[in-house]
Structure 1
């Protein structure tokens, strides 16, 4: 499998590896627009030359859409290998590409958002540990910041204080999201419409730029749902999952 690097020149014609097939889909167009704006910040998107979810996306930590302090590191936004491509060494190939590229750019190491156990849309902690990543910091309720220093004496990255408690002051449902993931644009408004029909207070806050994302109340700025001030989930909810959540919370 060959690895392709996405750039301004080939962004429109290349499939961006998620389970959406056409550029006319609002989810794809929103993701590609987000990528196009981030290339100037040093965003790198490398994918296998296949029609599938085989890619790694990373960016200098100073420009990462994650509330962290990690000067000199490279932050992995997402590493995804799925389906028939699993178990073929593809993840190792992609992360090796990231390591070599980051070293060539003089970076101190890699940083990735993970969790105490495997959670949807977040890097697998077992795999990161297998690749030599170490625990740098934690944030409620289950987030872990993992790092792979290229030299032993490099300082640990850390979360910003704004994400430590997993709480906000606002009551009702508040959903923070960004277009870093192409799935969000569709599903955010799907559940917002359900809440409106049921007369449930629901506010959507979209991270439009790096500064907003770096001061978010949760590390996973792609999608974070709060209810009555407390963090609920980072999982991108379908209509059925949202209905189930409302029932579990006793809202309906």
Structure 2
């Protein structure tokens, strides 16, 4: 099964699809934005491994030291996303991808692997029940139910940055922190922007465009975070107006 997968590299990045949004002929702004983001990350040890087919089956991870998340620790890998869907499900691809990541961590002498989870499974987060089958367990938590899941190979464990547990900002208007690591970000920004303009709702978008900004965010973050009335709401992308309106009613 090993030959069925490929890793994105500087050489093949421009021609390979990125799994989440598969395009063949026309450019997609979200996909191209992610390509540019990845181009800068691959040299930092970022890994994007996918099924060598037109399908959604991939894992994306990076050294924790250079992962754009407010999580700190030494010598860990951080899994941004492990996603297998559609016709690919039930074929062992998720197992193959997870085991590749764990073997990579061990081969490089890492202390372990970690990922963002929650006390109750949330949308836009990898399947934590699947991860727990490999021994991942919560090593840190936030007051609103997010968890840092880790599989430790030694005594070391990572933790949320102190700022990530603040979950408050001074801004009262709808405020969204984002980067371009997910191809759906551009679509979500456009959805929120149009809805807010139509209803006269003020909104502020803050691009997380450096590692330093990502490590000091005032909430958990995987590529998107929403605040309203100064309170952290979710890392879920606001893909439809109904979800946005539920937040604005609070």
Same fold? TM cut 0.5: yes
Aligned to 1:19: 21
Give the aligned partner of residue 8 of structure 1.
Answer: 10
* Counterpart position of 2:233: 232
Distance 2:167 2:29 in 1: 30
Task: Output aligned runs, 1:79-158, within 5 Å.
Answer: 79-151=82-154, 154-158=155-159
Structure 2 spans left out of the alignment, 5+ residues: none
Please say if residues 56 and 76 of structure 1, whose CA atoms lie closer than 8 Å, have aligned partners that are also in contact: yes
How far apart in 1 are the matches of 2:145 and 2:90? Answer: 27
Counterparts of 1:217 and 1:20, CA distance in 2: 33
Structure 1 CA distance for aligned equivalents of residues 185 and 205 of structure 2: 12
User: RMSD value over aligned CA atoms?
Assistant: 1.6
Question: 2:139 is paired with a residue of what secondary structure?
Answer: strand
Question: Do the aligned residues in 2 keep the contact of 1:53 with 1:80 (CA within 8 Å)?
Answer: yes
Q: In structure 2, do the counterparts of structure 1 residues 196 and 125 end up closer, same or farther at CA, with 3 Å as the change threshold?
A: same
Q: Which residue of structure 2 lines up, in the alignment, with residue 217 of structure 1?
A: 218
Report what 1:248 is aligned to.
249
Query: Are 2:45 and 2:63, in contact at CA under 8 Å, matched by a contact in 1?
Result: yes
Distance 1:104 1:155 in 2: 17
Inter-partner Cα distance in structure 2 for 1:39 and 1:234:
24
Counterpart residue number, 1:57: 60
| Residue number among 35, 40, 52 corresponding to 1:37 in the alignment | 40
CA contact 1:117–1:124 (8 Å) conserved in 2 = no
| Number of residues of Structure 1 aligned to a counterpart in Structure 2 | 247
* Matched residue, 2:165: 164
Q: Does the CA contact (< 8 Å) of 1:70 and 1:157 recur in 2?
A: yes
TM-score normalised by the chain length of structure 2: 0.93
1:185 aligns with 2:176: no
Equivalent-residue separation in structure 2 for 1:173 and 1:20 (angstroms): 31
- 1:31–1:179 Cα contact (<8 Å) kept: yes
Deviation at 1:247, TM superposition (A): 6.0
How much does 1:241 deviate? 2.5
Over 3 Å counting, the alpha-carbon distance change for 1:28 and 1:47 in structure 2 is: same
- Return the offset for 1:233: 2.0
Q: Give the C-alpha shift of residue 167 in structure 1.
A: 1.5
Question: What do the CA deviations read for 1:193-214 (whole angstroms, capped 9, x no partner)?
Answer: 3212322111000101111111
Higher mean alpha-carbon deviation, 186-195 vs 66-75, is at 186-195
In the superposition, the TM-score normalised over structure 1's length comes to 0.93
**Higher deviation after alignment, 212-221 or 28-37:** 212-221
1:138-159 Cα shifts (integer Å, max 9, x gaps): 12312100111123xx222100
